[in-house]
């Protein structure tokens, strides 16, 4: 494992708007950064999930947003019929996509944990499908993830290239690294993600590497839909995609170096 220094306001510190004492079977973490326009749609979609799957809790992370997200979160929560199933985690400063997810995971009470994106391009129902796959195995090292179908050539090519680079450098077969959702046991979280995980978009790669190396990855087909509101944070424009790709590529070689130093590669 690797050491990533945690600041004082790390995900383990608690700044909850709502605290719940109940333990749910499944906790779904959704990091949100400047998603004010999209938040009503998120609640609408997630409310449908909760109504049919009352064992779910949802941790919505306001990941240092600079828009009206805090206000919209509270407005939507006030009108939801499922208030007891929601937590709103406020992160004052955006330290990265991964930091937002880790902040949410630190507050989750579920026996099984998952994350997906706030853009709702991956249908939240896919999380329930992933949970169904997970339950087929009596194994805490099962890791379920999406495998995106019917994608445009450009994004699919970037994804393929990143998977090839990661697989070659880290000597594990890793594919469609950024696909959502990601679902795993609390044991997996505590063993691999609770202390040493990266704060940026490399989190998807980091989690998937350890799942492949020490466990079993199960993939489910998912259809990647168009975003209705707001801007993509990790894909979107070619410029943003290249920026994220460079950062994740840099992390791959950092990870390779650390694994070699520890005799794990």
User: CA angle, 122 as apex, 121 and 126 as ends, to 5°?
Assistant: 160
Nearest to 248 by CA among 156, 153, 166, 164: 166
CATH of the domain at 58: 3.90.550.10
Residue 211: how many other CB atoms lie within 10 Å: 23
pLDDT at 229 over 90: no
The Cα 93–Cα 60 span in angstroms is: 15
Residue 70 in tokens = 């805090």
pLDDT digits (tens, 9 = 90+) for 178-198: 999 999 999 999 999 998 899
Q: Please state the rounded mean pLDDT for residues 247-259.
A: 93
CB of 103 within 8 A of CB of 59?
no
Q: Is residue 233 part of a domain?
A: yes
Between residues 56 and 16, the one the model is more confident about: 56
Q: Which range marks the domain in which residue 219 is found?
A: 26-261
pLDDT digits (tens, 9 = 90+) for 128-155: 999 999 999 999 999 999 999 988 888 8
Q: Is residue 15 part of a domain?
A: no
Q: How many domains does the chain have?
A: 1
Q: Is residue 240 part of a domain?
A: yes
Q: Is residue 140 part of a domain?
A: yes
Contacts of 185 (CB under 8 A, 6+ apart): 111, 112, 113, 134, 140, 141, 142
Q: Is residue 19 part of a domain?
A: no
Q: Is residue 248 part of a domain?
A: yes
One DSSP character per residue, 34-102 reads S-TTTHHHHHHHHHHHHHH-TTEEEEEEEES-SSSHHHHHHHHHHH-TTGGGEEEEEESS---HHHHHH
Looking at residue 239, what is its pLDDT? 73
Q: Is residue 13 part of a domain?
A: no
Q: Please state the rounded mean pLDDT for residues 160-181.
A: 95
Q: Is residue 5 part of a domain?
A: no
The Cα 6–Cα 63 span in angstroms is: 16
DSSP 227: P
């Amino acid at each position: 494992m690797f050491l990533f220094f945690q600041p004082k306001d790390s995900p383990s510190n608690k700044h909850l708007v709502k605290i719940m004492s109940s333990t749910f079977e499944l906790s779904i973490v959704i990091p949100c950064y400047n998603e004010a326009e999209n938040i009503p749609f998120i609640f609408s979609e997630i409310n449908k999930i909760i109504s049919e799957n009352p064992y779910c809790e949802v941790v919505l992370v306001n990941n240092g947003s600079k828009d009206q997200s805090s206000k919209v979160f509270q407005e939507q929560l006030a009108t939801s019929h499922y208030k007891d199933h929601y937590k709103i985690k406020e992160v004052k400063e955006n330290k990265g996509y991964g930091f937002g997810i880790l902040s949410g995971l630190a507050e989750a009470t579920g026996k099984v944990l998952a994350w997906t994106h706030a853009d709702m391009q991956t249908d939240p129902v896919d999380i329930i499908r992933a949970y169904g796959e997970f339950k087929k195995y009596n194994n805490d090292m099962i890791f379920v993830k999406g495998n995106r179908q019917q994608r445009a050539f450009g994004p699919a090519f970037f994804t393929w290239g990143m998977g090839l680079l990661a697989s070659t450098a880290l000597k594990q077969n890793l594919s469609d690294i950024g696909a959502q959702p990601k679902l795993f046991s609390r044991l997996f979280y505590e063993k691999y993600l609770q202390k040493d995980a990266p704060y940026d978009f490399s989190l998807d790669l980091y989690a998937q590497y350890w799942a492949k190396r020490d466990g079993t990855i199960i993939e489910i087909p998912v259809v990647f839909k168009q975003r209705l509101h707001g801007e993509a944070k990790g894909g979107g424009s070619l410029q943003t995609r290249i920026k994220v790709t460079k950062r994740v590529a840099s992390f791959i070689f950092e990870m390779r170096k650390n694994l070699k130093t520890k005799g794990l590669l």
